[in-house]
Structure formats: structure tokens, C-alpha cells
Amino acid sequence: MADVQGYAPLFEPIRLGPVTAKNRFYQVPHCTGLGHVRPRAEAALRGMKAEGGWGVVSTQETEIHPTSDLAPFAEGRLWDARDIPALRLMTDAVHDHGALAAVQLVHNGRHATNLLSRAPVLAPSDMAISACQPKQGRALDKADIRALRRWHREAALRAKDAGFDIIYVYAGHGMTLAQQFMLPHLNGRSDEYGGSLENRVRLTLELLEDTRDAVGDTCAVAFRFGIDEMLGPDGMQAAEEGRGVVELLADLPDIWDVNVSDWANDSATTRFQPQDGYQNDYLSYVKQVTDKPVVGVGRLTSPDMMLSMLRKGIVDLIGAARPSIADPFIPRKIEEGRIDEIRECIGCNICAASDGLGIPIRCTQNPTIGEEWRRGWHPERIAAQGQATQTLVVGSGPAGLECAMQLARRGYEVTLAEGAMDFGGRVLRESRLPGLAAWGRVADYRLNDLRQRANVQMFAESTLDADQVIELGIEHVFLATGTAWRADGVGRNTRRSPPLTDPSAFVYTPDDIMAGSEPEGRVVVYDDDHIYLAGVIAEKLVQLGCEVVFVTPESTVSSFSAYTLEQHRIQARLIELGVDIRCNQTLGRIAPDCVTTACLYSGRVSRVECAATVLVTERQRNTTLFEQLQGKGLITLELVGDAAAPGLIADAVFDGHRAARDFERPKDAAEQDWFRREITDLREEAP
């Protein structure tokens, strides 16, 4: 057990304007893909954070008016009084556990697309909107600014009615009108809202004063501010104008919630920002300028780092979005001395990808996030075992480990067999590639749990065949046997005409490279997978001294990684490493000394000299054992994870979790009741 007393400062209450937070754990606003579209699910997710011990639990950005319409994305909405009941579900759920509820009001300005409302987009000056849409924003005139202030004020009053304790003015992530007014490259106004910093900050100052005036008697006013755009002299810098803003507004808000802008910088992935607490340098002086409490973020999962940030006077409250998604129970675990039970965020941004995809939030580490209401899943609790006693899980990748851990938590005897020398499957293999070390946390957390359980037996170097499974005499078998990367080049774009491969050519798969194969000389990496792996393998090959040509049918490198907010960084890194990137090309022939590629559009063929090729195209499911065990009298025989349906690590963890939960659930319930849905109420609305 950890020294719980040592962490006492994290549990000291703190006054925030007219309200008091019970401790220093502050779940800053983050999107969930639930919002106004799925309010019960939203309330249950936020309520779970409060149950897990967070002293403050916030919404995501919450639109104040139809001119700030983020459809089709499901953020918060408080356009008028009819939106109050949905948000009251959330404040009630949060208050039930003694936490404060915060709402991040927003007018998104040129970040909104207004595709649903068809309202004109509003911006500091006339300009194209930030999304790639055929629209321009128009400059707010004085009447618009007066209206905007009224909308914000009225939304604050509605938020108070909905039960919120903390109400935000938001100027961050490049996503809000208040911040857009502050930035010289977006604000070309010549009136009192443009020009000097003081003028550019005027709108924010007015919004803060209005909010305080409207609700400040009972609610704290928080200010979320992107202090540095991380563009050097081309953008706002923390030490220059960023500091100027803090000085101008110093004690006006009750809480300073400070981060770096844009979202990709704020939610940096471990691949590009391995150090937790990476924002400290940017926000460390804020407390010297203001007497008001400061909350900061930076993938803060370690209680020691949290404590040192308080002790050094960097922040007063520990802010978290992703760490609270990966483990909603961090505060309770620290308080109870269960620090080794914290499920650490791996910084993969699959959570952020959910937002961009317009779907409910998913997390690699926490398969229950977003499932609290619709599936009734609790991150720390699971139903006790049913009739069966013995279970066998084959394969210890993310699916097998999660399945085994949850079966063990339910009380079953679990035997876990792994063919390789070490447990961890694909997360172990991938975590050895450049920039992916944090992937290992997926295995570490689960192995740490499994190793402490008396009802679990784990066997490495134990490749099981059907006879060995039957000999074990265990009648409930879960096969998390994973996948193998194809070596024939078949993939999304080469299905009709796979590359013709000369048998004497050197062809590798990602499995070969991860197992230690080292091609030499000039190597073509062919990416028809488009997620992250091919880009990482290209980096690995450069480290090995290869000259790398990256060929992909997509128009960018690792195109899916735009959703995880790192595509531009991946492409920039490969360019910096001297990788020769050839987009819009499919693979035609693989010869010993070259490959041919064809332009996706014109069909024009090119020849690329190379000594070897790495094919990152598709995976094949390992189902041999499953097929051999058919008809052998097992009561349960289930493929789990990638072996059932190849996908992200998050999907494998989810499926392992689901399999353990569904085990011995009455069959028709598991089949008919996938999950509860929030269905539009068709009762006629009063005009």
C-alpha cells in the first residue's frame, strides 16, 4: 500500500469563487460524442467520474446559440430552455457524488459550420471558416457583438438553472470566438475590438464580466485559455501575449484553466510527446500573475507528479481529460492507496478519434467508457461468476488479457496460455517500435492485476493445439489468438490485382520487422493499412540505416491518424527523416531489385529501385485452433478480439471485456439487448 498520507494535499478542499471543490481533482471539459444527442449516456459517464472521486466534473463544449452549431458532432447544447432538462441529468448525477458540475459554454465563431442551423458563420473579420467547407464567416458588427454578449449571458443563466456550479468562458483550442478575437492573424478589425492586445481581449473581458454579473453570486466563473499556440513567433506565445492576457484579466475569473492550443498540441500523443506533464513549462508562471486558483493539464496520471505540481506552485488543481477517461477512479485509487491499480492513459488519442468520427467515445485502456448507461458497465465492478468454474483463455494480447482479467474478477478459475515467451501479444510487439513504448501500459496494467490473483494461472511458451486444449478438461474456452499480417500484398486497393511478386524478392511483413528482421539498403514500405503502423515501421527502418521509400494509395501518410490528431506530425517526421513519400500509388510488381507502382488516377507506372519491400496491407485471423476445436464437445468456444474481427487495440480490449461480461449471461439477453438506445421522442412539440 502506498503512502496515502503523503498525498493528502491532493485531497484538500479549495474555494473557487462562491463554491468549494472537495479536492484538487478536476475533470476539465472534454468531448464524449454523447452530449445533447445522448443525454442519459452523457449523464452516466460524468456521474461515473464523480463516483470515481473527481472534485469537479465538466461537460464538453456546450453551444450557446444556433450560430454556433457543431452538427453533425454531438457536443453539448444550451440554445434555449428546452436544453436544460438534459443537462440537469448530468448535474444531478455529478452532485449525487458530492462533486461540482462545470459547463463549458462556447461560441465557436469560425470553427462552427452551422450545417444544421444554416445560420451565417460569425468571425472577428470576414474570412474562410476553419473547416474545409464551402463557407465564409462574416465579421460581427456592433449589433452582433451586443447579441453575442446577450446569448452568452442568457446561456449562463440557463446553465445556472440546470444546476451547474462552475460556468466557463472559453478561449482555447482555436475553436472559439473569444480566442479568435485575440489572435492577430484572425482579427483584422480597426474598431475597439481589434489592433492592440487590450482591444483584442475586450470581448473576452466583457464575456467574463457579463457571466460574473449574471451568475457570479452562486456560480464560479472559469476561464479556459490557450496560452500558447506552439507556433513560435507566428502565434500567441506564453511568454509574450499569452502573459499579457493573463495580466489583463488576472483576477477577473474565479478559476484559470490554462492549456496550450490547438487541440493537437493540448492532447499530444505519447508518440510525439512522451513526457507526462508536458505543459508545465507553459503554464508555470500563471499563478505568479493571478491570485485565483489555476488548473492545468498534460496527461497527468502519476500521483507523485500531481503532488509535485501542487508543491511547486505550478497549479492548484490537477486537470485531466484523457487520464480521467482511461481511469475515472484515479482519485479514489490514490485516496485508498491503490496506486498500482491506476489504468494509465497511453496517449493514443483513440478517444479524440471518436469525436472526429462523430461516434460515442472509445478508449484503448477503458472499455467501459461511454457504455455506463447503454450497457450498464461500471469500470470497477462486474457481475459475480455464474455456474461454471474453470475457464481457459488462449492468447495474451489485449483481448486475451482483458478477457482473462475480467473473468478472474468475476471469480472464475482462469488458465491463460500464451505461445510466445512473453505475455502481451500485439501491444508488446508494437510497444518496441519507435514512439510506441506507452502501448505497453495496456499489458502492464492487466498483467499486474492478473499476477496478484490466486484464481489465475498463466503459462507462457505454451502454444496449444486442439488435443492439448481438450486434455486440459476445461469446457469454457476463449480464443484470443490474434492475427498475422499478410505477405501477399492483398489489401484495400490491391484486392482486384494483388502485386505480382518474384519469389526471389525480399518481402517482409510488419510481423517480420517486429520479430527482429532487418532489411538492408533501399526499402519500399507499402502502406495499404493507413492507420499508424506503416509510418512507425518506416521510422524503424530509418533507425536501422535503411533508405526508405514510402508508397501509399492514400493522398497522405497514415491518413487515419488525422483522427488521432497526429497525421501532420507523422508526415513531418518522415519528411525530416529523409523518407521519400510517394502518395496516390498502388503496388504493381515486386522484383528482387525494384517495385513498380501505378498512379491511382492515371494508371501511369513508375519503377522504384529497392532491395526489399515491407507490405503493410491486411491481417488474417488466426482461427486454426478454433476450427480444430469445433465439434469437440466444449460448452463455450468463442473467438475474441482480433481473431474475431481485426481492428484497433481498443477494439480488442473492448471485445475481451464484452466476452467476459457476456459469459453465462442468458443467451437471449446477450443477443437481443445489444445496448439501450436513446430514441427521439415523437410526441408533438408545443409550437
- Could you list the residues that contact ligand SF4 (CB under 6 A)? 322, 325-326, 345-351, 363-365
Beta bridge mates, 27: 57, 320
Element (H, E) at 607: strand 605-609
Residue 242, C-alpha cell as written in the block: 499569452
Among 184-192, 242-250, 371-379, 419-427, the segment contacting ligand ADP (CB under 6 A): 419-427
CA dist., res. 141 & res. 191, Å (int): 10
b/e per residue, 195-222, with b = 16+ CB within 10 A? eebebbbbbbbbbbbbbbebbbeebbbb
Instruction: Report the site for ligand ADP in 608-637 (rule: CB under 6 A).
Output: 622, 625
- Candidates 515, 478, 491; CA nearest to 664 is 478
Is residue 173 annotated as part of the catalytic site, yes or no?
yes
- Exposure string over 402-436, b if 16+ CB within 10 A, otherwise e: bbbbbbbbbebbbbbbbbbeebbbbbbbbbebbbb
The backbone region for 195, taken as left when phi is positive above 0, alpha when psi lies in -120 to 50, beta otherwise, is left
**Upper half-sphere CA count for residue 584 (Cβ side, 13 Å):** 8
Residue 659 makes contact with ligand ADP by CB under 6 A = no
Between 299 and 426, name the residue whose CB sits nearer to ligand ADP.
426
Q: Which of 204, 385, 396, 567 binds ligand ADP (CB under 6 A)?
A: 396
Pairing of strands 136-139, 127-128: antiparallel
Sheet holding 456-459, edge to edge: 456-459, 413-417, 390-394, 476-479, 636-639
Asked about 282 being catalytic, the answer comes back as no
Q: Which of 76, 216, 347, 395 binds ligand ADP (CB under 6 A)?
A: 395
Q: Which does 349 bind (CB under 5 to 8 A by kind): ligand SF4, ligand ADP, none?
A: ligand SF4
Q: 113 and 123 in contact (C-beta within 8 Å)?
A: no
Which of the listed partners (ligand ADP, ligand SF4, none) does 350 bind, with a CB threshold of 5 to 8 Å by partner kind?
ligand SF4
83 tagged catalytic: no
Binding flag, residue 470, ligand ADP (CB under 6 A):
no
Q: Which does 590 bind (CB under 5 to 8 A by kind): ligand SF4, ligand ADP, none?
A: none
Which one-letter DSSP state was computed for residue 275? S
**Residue 444 within binding range of ligand ADP, rule CB under 6 A:** no
The listed partner (ligand ADP, ligand SF4, none) that binds 419, CB under 5 to 8 Å by sort, is: ligand ADP
Distance CA 340, CA 475 (A): 33
User: How many residues appear in the chain?
Assistant: 687
Report the distance separating Cα 98 and Cα 22, nearest Å.
Answer: 8
Residue pair 661/377 in contact by the 8 Å Cβ criterion? yes
Which CB atom, from 180 or from 406, has the smaller least distance to ligand SF4? Answer: 406
Task: Quote the Cα angle for 319-320-324, to 5°.
Answer: 145
Catalytic position from the list 165, 266, 529, 655: 266
Q: How many residues bind ligand ADP (CB under 6 A)?
A: 26
State the catalytic residue, choosing from 65, 107, 152, 173: 173
Binding at 347: pick from ligand SF4, ligand ADP, none (beta carbon under 5-8 Å per type):
ligand SF4
Q: Is the peptide bond before 304 cis (omega within 30 degrees of 0)?
A: no
Q: Name the minimum Å distance from CB 263 to ligand SF4.
A: 13
Close Cβ partners of 8 (under 8 Å, ≥ 6 residues apart): none
Interaction partner, residue 345 (ligand SF4, ligand ADP, none; CB < 5-8 Å by kind): ligand SF4
Based on the shown chain and the rule CB under 6 A, indicate whether residue 297 belongs to the binding site for ligand ADP: no
Kindly tell me which of 241 and 651 has the beta carbon lying closer to ligand SF4: 651
Nearer to ligand ADP, 334 or 417 (CB): 417
- Which residue's CB is nearer to ligand SF4, number 349 or number 368? 349
482 binds ligand ADP (CB under 6 A): yes
Stretch that binds ligand ADP, among 74-82, 91-99, 606-614, 639-647 (CB under 6 A): 639-647
Binder to ligand ADP among 109, 253, 347, 400 (CB under 6 A)?
400
Is the Cβ of residue 309 or residue 648 nearer to ligand SF4 in the bound state? Answer: 648
Q: Could you tell me the smallest distance in angstroms from the CB atom of residue 441 to ligand ADP? A: 15
CB of 576 to ligand SF4, least distance (A): 24
Q: Is 266 a catalytic residue?
A: yes
Choose, from 7, 26, 168, 170, the residue flagged as catalytic: 170
Q: Name the residues annotated as catalytic.
A: 31, 170, 173, 266
Binding site for ligand ADP (CB under 6 A): 394-400, 417-420, 425-426, 462-464, 480-483, 622, 625, 641-643, 652
